[in-house]
Amino acid sequence: MEVIIVYSLCVIFTLLILYHIFNKPLIEAATNPEYKDYSKNDALILAKQNAGNIKFLKQKFETIDGLSKKVNTMSESVDSNTEAIHQILKAQKEQTNRLKTDQ
């Protein structure tokens, strides 16, 4: 019964953490002032807009890479915490068994 409670709490906390990580509003490129539509046919203007849009997209991908690293770190922490909880439960069970045998 205790194991079920521990697993349930681990799942709930993991879901809460993931919710807060990914709960940032999505910004469409058309609403961001840095992204510009290709409205003119002049080659120089198109080249400048293309360079600006590539820079903008590169920044967005870098933030995604940072989030990926945070998720990996958090996943390792969750695994470590789960192992610690298992060890605590094992120690409590052993202590309970010792108390039962002493009586």
> Dihedral (C-alpha) 84, 88, 94, 95: value to the nearest 10 degrees?
150
Residue 63: pLDDT band with limits 50, 70, 90: confident
Work out the average pLDDT over 29-55: 70
Distance CA 86, CA 73 (A): 20
Work out the average pLDDT over 84-102: 90
Residue 31 has pLDDT above 50, yes or no: no
Mean pLDDT of the chain: 80
Work out the average pLDDT over 79-88: 93
Residue 91 has pLDDT above 90, yes or no: yes
Indicate the pTM of the whole model: 0.41
- Cα 26 to chain centroid, rounded: 15
Q: Which two three-digit tokens encode residue 29?
A: 């490129």
pLDDT of residue 6: 80
Residue 57 has pLDDT above 80, yes or no: yes
